[in-house]
Amino acid sequence: MLGKVVSSVGAVVVLGLLGMTVPTTVRLSQLDVGLRSSLHSTSQLVDVESAIIQNNKSLTTLMNTANSMNQTLRTTNQTTGQLEQNIALINKLNEQTLQINDSIGGQTKAGAAHLASIAASLHQLDGSMTNLEQTLSALGGMVQQDVGNMNQMKQAVHSMNSKVPGVAG
């Protein structure tokens, strides 16, 4: 009987130990699942950190590219400003040229009017010159007639003087 009691106590101790090890095993298994989950999460975190590091390297490249583009945009902006100034200057010069052309056009119109007036005066002068030439030609004919008449008068006076005694002839 003592053997049975010892055996029973032994069985109870074994069962007690087994009863204590089962929750421990369950707890250990839960810990194992948690650790595996934690290991998986840590692995994912390492992957994410690696991607962040790679992205940070890309961010440096991106920042360098953005700075380069910013410099290019500043240069483009300066060039555009210079172009605007040049266009404004060209517009001003074109406006001045237009004013000069308008002035020249007005002077040309006035000059053309003066030339037309001069041409009309010259045409009238031409007619007057023709009339003067005709008048001078007629006057030349009259002078020739007067010369002929004077010669006749001179001969008549000479002839009369030769008939009058004492008049030298």
pLDDT value of residue 168: 67
Low-confidence ranges of the chain (pLDDT < 70): 15, 17-18, 21, 167-169
Angle 40-45-50 from CA coordinates, rounded to 5°: 125
- Please report the pLDDT score of residue 144 as a whole number: 92
Q: pTM of the prediction?
A: 0.40
| Rounded Cα distance, 43 and 37, in Å | 10
pLDDT of residue 52: 78
- Looking at this protein, which amino acid is placed at residue 18? L
DSSP class of residue 165 equals: T
User: What is the predicted pLDDT for the residue at 18?
Assistant: 67
pLDDT number for residue 159: 82
Tokens 């991607």 sit at which residue? 51
Q: How far apart (Å, rounded) are the C-alpha atoms in residues 48 and 44?
A: 6
Among 13, 29, 77, CA closest to 5: 13
- Specify whether the CB–CB gap between 162 and 169 falls below 8 A: yes
CA distance 69 to 78: 14
> Hunting for tokens 């961010």 — which residue is that?
59
Rounded Cα gap, residues 70 and 62, in angstroms: 12
Q: What is the pLDDT of residue 42?
A: 85
Q: What does the block give as tokens for 36? A: 């595996």
